[in-house]
Structure 1
Amino acid sequence: MSISLDLSSNSLVGSLPVEIGNLKSLSTIDISKNKLSGEIPYSIGDCNSLEHLYMGGNFFEGTIPQSLTLLKGLLDLDLSHNNLSGNIPKDLQNLLALRSLNLSFNNLEGEVPTKRIFGNASAVLVNGNDKLCGGVAELHLPTCTNHGFTKQGKSNAFRIVLAIVGVVLGFILIFSFLTLYWIRRSKSKPPSTPLIGDQFLKLSYKELFQATGGFSSANFIGSGGFGSVYKGIIDQDTTIVAIKVLNLQNPRAYKSFTAECEALRNIRHRNLVKILTSCSSLDSKGKDFKALVYEFMPNGSLDDWLHPPMAANNNSRSLSLLQRLNIAIDVASALDYLHYHCYTKIVHCDLKPSNILLDSDMTAHVSDFGLARLLLELDDNSSQGQTSTIGIKGSIGYAAPEYGMGGRATTQGDMFSYGILLLEMFTGKRPTDQMFTDDLNLHNFAKTTLLVHFMQILDPTLIPNEEQSEEIEEDAINRTEGPIHRLDRLQDCITSIIEIALQCSMESPRERMSMNDVVRRLHLIRGKFS
């Protein structure tokens, strides 16, 4: 009996979870024609019953995972129309059952294998990969030119290789002596050393394992592009923390870990998530283990409140206008600090509701600096002086349009993300909503709807919340104010906020507002409203 999973031709976004490797009984997985991104998880090779795998028509990137060569029963593999790069795994030609392979329209490069399925040009599609070469003649690919050595060239290359080997062996010998020396000196040191400063707590893998109940599902909070987050208790069961465990199967997770440590090393602000320590150690199986430990935020993320699941979708789980305005000011204050008041400018690069966490007082804290960049130049127009720790990707719908064309990280990129975030907070619509197709996007929708159909732009949960909050705060406003006046005041407030959001999310970076202007204007709006 074959079991299939067909999620094709939807609008699914985000990365493919590593837990897909747990679907060991599936014979068919079809997730083609969606908007999935990120790298194909290595765990896909654990689906050992898989016969048909269709992943074409998405935004997958990175290399084709070597683990696909473990699927010995695979019949059909379609990875076409993605952003995959690197070489074609040579071991794919060892899949004896493979009868069709579609790798067309990616960014693959290097030599195409020639054995087994690669010898049948009618079963292999590799067109649309301009850097591929070799393969069988029927594929009509250019000849690979990196093997044409003459005898004299081979002789010279052999001498060069011998010289390099001699130098490398010398370095290895010296390095070995130095390594032995440092191992002897560091035997008394703990196995886990925080990377973000000695003033922080020192926690080992064993302590984090115990704090989370063995990283149990009962303490699982959520997962992102680079790892999973667990709730834990430390300091003799007195302090609740959030522990972000990096998924080191993703090679970019190492860079994300470094980026977050660098970004959070010396910054302090009431609206930034507070990091308690980092852990870089070995787990119980001797494998690399990296984790970041943060202050726990009991009210979850802003995304949880703006888009609660159907079971929790009720008025008690929605935000009033004043709460949204306070959160908007909190986030703006955090970005203003990162952009203008740090010793080195920091660009967050991945601002979105799921990266805004709320504490017990509903105060917002910006989190997840896994894509952050440090700008060493004070001049935003300079193309020099930028240190990069990880490639800019951001999230679909929130990333500035110039990033999609290879633009460098700038504070204006964060301004675009903030503008989209602000529109989402007050319209209740995600930028990836199914209604946004062709040239219609959240920015254009808000711009055209604001003046003509004001009520249609509002989050449906916003008006009843405002009526309730008005009753509570009526003494602080005006006891004689009627419903019409309240609606006028609501419209003035929302209109002013949407105008700021539109200015922040302009397509041209030069036309966007600066964050210090946003903070000032939002404070004025809150003062008039409340």
Structure 2
Amino acid sequence: HGPIPLELSKMDMVLAIDLSLNNLSANVPSQLGSCIALEYLNLSRNSLEGPLPSSIGRLPYLKEFDVSFNVLSGEIPQTFQASSTLQNLNFSYNHLSGNVTDTGAFSSLTISSFFGNSKLCGSVQGMKSCHRKRGRHFIITILLSLLITPIFCVVGYPLVLRSKFRSQFARFNNSKVIEDTEQGGGVRKEQKYPRISRTQLIEATGGFSSSSLIGAGRYGRVYKGVLKNNMSIAVKVIDTKGGGEISGSFKRECQILKRTRHRNLIRIITTCSRPDFKALVFPLMPNGSLENHLYPSHGLRHQLDLAQLVSICSDVAEGVAYLHHFSPVKVVHCDLKPSNVLLDYNMTALVTDFGISRLVKAVEENTNPVDESVTYNSTDGLLCGSIGYIAPEYGMGRRASTKGDVYSYGVLLLEIVTGKRPTDVLFQQGSSLHEWVKRQYTHKLEAMIDDTLQRCRVTCTTTVQQLDSNLWRDIVYELIELGLMCTQYNPSTRPTMLDVALEIGRLKQYLSSPSNIATEEDVSTKS
């Protein structure tokens, strides 16, 4: 009994809330709109009153909503009708009023969803029509229209012509200014997302041929192609046969790519969305993925030196730290791994593939142990990521968190240092990569560092060549320690991604500044 607790709004990852068959009273709190992952909400058979909050209709993943058998009043907010995800709704047996049309989310509803609301009317099947009173007001309207028409012809028409002439003149001047500034390099016009049709994508990729295929994942395939303007693109074609889960993944990735902007996150060119075809268009990364370089095919040798690998790790850390701490929409990536790290012309790393990412209202730096025990009501959010990179707490049903991304990043670091896939260790040794590396501390750590140096010093730059053997070993040792810190079993003992980015950034700066290295060596010699 009593009002709905406002604390429910803090559950930003909850998938279903069922409070039916109680004696809850007062208004439905608008704060429930903060539960952005909510898919199912049942408040039926209570004593709730007042208007429905429009914020609930804006929930991006809400599929089912039931408020039947309450005493709600007022009009149904337009946000419910405008929702693209709502499938089942029940407003029956309340005191709702107003006009209801059979469009949007209401197009599949019948009168059964609105029973018991005598003041509702509209075009929904079985619902009474809304009759407007005609009579004296109608006659007055006709007379006014007959009176106003000749007045407009005499007075208004010349004014319209004058305003039209002024707008054309202003448009001409603006176009001239744009031409002048483009020629002189002064003002830059704002670029918008280009429109690229499905036909253009088919032509660019050779009909999505197997020769153009460069990758495949859980939700679709990625093809390379060239547009008519010679732009090289990568087209991620979503498998539309997967139903609602695939559609949700596409929508989620679009939301993240649209709202986030960072030098270490993949930039989207545009999207192509039709009922039977959905695709994301990205610039083609000429140096492929990090996985291609860690595990080169066709007998090619490892092509990345240690300085490049440290720089790549720093780029990834900065991109993920932005998602966790500075992005307008806080994001948990949920699938950090080498194949989701792309390399551009300058070997700058870009984090990609946000298909299973989680949008969160806020990022908690210190997670409450009570909150960490919250479980999912759906297997969709139970195990977030790829085998070997999944944080252990996800296996116990805990919600997706920033500390889960930190764990995946730690696995990535250890994978780079050891040259072993986490799945190889998992299936051969029966343990995680963290446990396998930790066991080497006793007697095999030096051998592991030697192996890392042998693999990662193929194409050293002039700056990196100044490092002596001991400094090389210290760098590898720091990478191992940071990887082990990030992959600790208890999420609360792991560092934040911001701390990780600062630490790996310091190591990157250390490698790129020979003067600093020389100074440190001189100081140690004198001491």
Q: CA offsets, 1:474-518, max 9 Å, x none?
A: 6x764xx7xxxx321121111111101111111110010111111
- Measured in 2, the distance between the counterparts of 1:166 and 1:328 equals 56
Q: CA offsets, 1:286-308, max 9 Å, x none?
A: xx100001111011111111112
Q: Amino acid of the residue matched to residue 462 of structure 2?
A: E
- Measured in 2, the distance between the counterparts of 1:467 and 1:438 equals 29
Residue in 1 aligned with 2:240?
Answer: 248
Quick check: 1:376–1:386 contact (8 Å CA) kept in 2? Answer: no
Quick check: 1:489–1:529 contact (8 Å CA) kept in 2? Answer: no
Quick check: 1:420–1:442 contact (8 Å CA) kept in 2? Answer: yes
Secondary structure in structure 2 of the residue aligned to 1:280: strand
- Measured in 1, the distance between the counterparts of 2:458 and 2:221 equals 39
5+ residue gaps in structure 1? 1-161, 175-196, 283-287
Q: CA offsets, 1:26-60, max 9 Å, x none?
A: xxxxxxxxxxxxxxxxxxxxxxxxxxxxxxxxxxx
TM-score normalised to the size of structure 2?
0.57
- Measured in 1, the distance between the counterparts of 2:377 and 2:288 equals 30
Shift of 1:424: 0.5
Residue in 1 aligned with 2:402?
Answer: 411
- Measured in 2, the distance between the counterparts of 1:416 and 1:441 equals 12
Structure 1 segment 397-408 matched on structure 2, within 5 A: 397-408=388-399
- Measured in 1, the distance between the counterparts of 2:349 and 2:385 equals 20
Quick check: 1:373–1:409 contact (8 Å CA) kept in 2? Answer: yes
- Measured in 2, the distance between the counterparts of 1:445 and 1:405 equals 22
- 1:314 corresponds, among 300, 305, 315, to 300
Structure 1 segment 109-120 matched on structure 2, within 5 A: none
Quick check: 1:352–1:421 contact (8 Å CA) kept in 2? Answer: yes
Quick check: 2:303–2:458 contact (8 Å CA) kept in 1? Answer: no
* Residue correspondences, number: 331
- Measured in 1, the distance between the counterparts of 2:499 and 2:377 equals 27
Quick check: 2:452–2:476 contact (8 Å CA) kept in 1? Answer: no
Q: CA offsets, 1:384-411, max 9 Å, x none?
A: 9999996353111101111111111111
Q: 2:423 matched to 1:432?
A: yes
Residue in 2 aligned with 1:296?
Answer: 284
Quick check: 1:428–1:458 contact (8 Å CA) kept in 2? Answer: no
Q: Amino acid of the residue matched to residue 407 of structure 2?
A: F
TM-score normalised to the size of structure 1?
0.57
- Measured in 2, the distance between the counterparts of 1:488 and 1:225 equals 43
Shift of 1:466: 1.9
1:256–1:166: structure 2 CA closer, same or farther, 3 Å change rule? closer
Structure 1 segment 365-444 matched on structure 2, within 5 A: 365-379=350-364, 381=367, 391=381, 392-434=383-425, 436-437=427-428, 440-444=431-435
Shift of 1:165: 8.4
Residue in 2 aligned with 1:274?
Answer: 267
Secondary structure in structure 1 of the residue aligned to 2:236: strand
Q: CA offsets, 1:306-342, max 9 Å, x none?
A: 1122x1x333x43111111000000000011101111
Q: Amino acid of the residue matched to residue 360 of structure 1?
A: Y
Secondary structure in structure 1 of the residue aligned to 2:483: helix
- Measured in 1, the distance between the counterparts of 2:234 and 2:377 equals 27
Q: Amino acid of the residue matched to residue 425 of structure 1?
A: I
- Measured in 2, the distance between the counterparts of 1:361 and 1:264 equals 22
When structure 1 is superposed on structure 2, of 298-307 and 384-393 the one drifting more is 384-393
Q: 2:210 matched to 1:217?
A: yes
1:405–1:438: structure 2 CA closer, same or farther, 3 Å change rule? farther
- Measured in 1, the distance between the counterparts of 2:272 and 2:510 equals 47
Q: Amino acid of the residue matched to residue 209 of structure 2?
A: S
Residue in 2 aligned with 1:491?
Answer: 473
- Measured in 1, the distance between the counterparts of 2:269 and 2:377 equals 24
- Measured in 2, the distance between the counterparts of 1:301 and 1:465 equals 17
Quick check: 1:436–1:442 contact (8 Å CA) kept in 2? Answer: no
Secondary structure in structure 1 of the residue aligned to 2:498: helix
Q: Amino acid of the residue matched to residue 358 of structure 2?
A: R
1:165–1:418: structure 2 CA closer, same or farther, 3 Å change rule? closer
Identity of aligned residues (%): 40
- Measured in 2, the distance between the counterparts of 1:397 and 1:247 equals 25
- 1:352 corresponds, among 334, 337, 346, to 337
5+ residue gaps in structure 2? 1-109, 116-120, 128-189, 513-527
Q: Amino acid of the residue matched to residue 524 of structure 1?
A: R
Quick check: 2:375–2:397 contact (8 Å CA) kept in 1? Answer: no
- Measured in 1, the distance between the counterparts of 2:375 and 2:456 equals 45
Q: Amino acid of the residue matched to residue 444 of structure 1?
A: E
Residue in 1 aligned with 2:224?
Answer: 231
- CA RMSD for the aligned pairs? 3.4
Shift of 1:439: 5.4
- Measured in 2, the distance between the counterparts of 1:232 and 1:497 equals 37
When structure 1 is superposed on structure 2, of 446-455 and 258-267 the one drifting more is 446-455
Residue in 2 aligned with 1:201?
Answer: 194
Shift of 1:172: 4.6
Residue in 1 aligned with 2:54?
Answer: none
Residue in 2 aligned with 1:171?
Answer: 124
- Measured in 2, the distance between the counterparts of 1:255 and 1:198 equals 28
Q: 2:500 matched to 1:518?
A: yes
Q: CA offsets, 1:394-451, max 9 Å, x none?
A: 1111011111111111110100000001110111111100565565321012122146
- Measured in 2, the distance between the counterparts of 1:459 and 1:434 equals 19
1:495–1:279: structure 2 CA closer, same or farther, 3 Å change rule? same
1:451–1:207: structure 2 CA closer, same or farther, 3 Å change rule? same
1:440–1:415: structure 2 CA closer, same or farther, 3 Å change rule? same
Quick check: 1:412–1:514 contact (8 Å CA) kept in 2? Answer: yes
Q: 2:316 matched to 1:335?
A: no
Secondary structure in structure 2 of the residue aligned to 1:452: coil
